[in-house]
Amino acid sequence: MLELLILYILNKYDCTIYKIQKLIEEMFFIFSCPSLGAINPALKRLENLGCVEYSSFMSDGGKLSKTYKITPFGLKYLKETISLFDFKNNAHMLNNAKVCISISDVLDNKQKEDFYFLIANKLKILKKDVENKLKDPYILYTDIQKKVLEATVREIEELILTVEK
């Protein structure tokens, strides 16, 4: 997911690693707050894929710095990865869905329509799974666990409504 956020940021701005970190923290603070130690290897992976490139320059303090930018392949990769995102892990699905929806403005109208259809269906399945677990008499949830799961169902419903509009 971090690679998607980096590509999304670089689609908007050419940035140093520090600026990438700052923008992710500002724009996606509720979903991700990566360290430079996480961003740097992600940038290397994206560079090896041909998704980003950089230019080096000397800062005012005499330190060598890099400014990263997205490549045309990187933009294509970003769009395809969002459009075809695999939401296998239910434990992360809701958060990942929110991130992908949040960055879906890079998609063209048809891609967005297809993605929203896919994500709505995945969320409906997740909602049904949670509701079934809540109804299962053999699972002994505490009252607080039930309330959290019920709140999650409402959150999923709201997200479905968001993408179906």
For 113-140, write each residue's pLDDT tens digit: 999 999 999 999 999 999 999 999 999 9
Q: Where are the alpha helices (DSSP H) in the chain?
A: 2-12, 17-28, 36-49, 72-83, 90-102, 109-135, 143-164
For 43-57, write each residue's pLDDT tens digit: 999 999 999 999 998
Q: What is the mean pLDDT of the chain?
A: 92
Q: In a 3-state reduction of DSSP, which class is residue 129? A: helix
User: What domains are there in the chain, each with its CATH number?
Assistant: 2-79 (1.10.10.10), 87-164 (no CATH)
Which residue reads 């709140």 in tokens? 151
Q: What confidence score (pLDDT) does residue 91 get?
A: 82
Q: What confidence score (pLDDT) does residue 159 get?
A: 95
Whether pTM exceeds 0.85: yes
Which is more confident, 92 or 134?
134
What separation in angstroms does the CA of 33 have from each of 6, 50, 91, 107, 148? 12, 25, 19, 24, 24
What separation in angstroms does the CA of 77 have from each of 26, 51, 95? 24, 7, 21
The answer to whether 67 and 15 are in contact (CB under 8 A) is yes
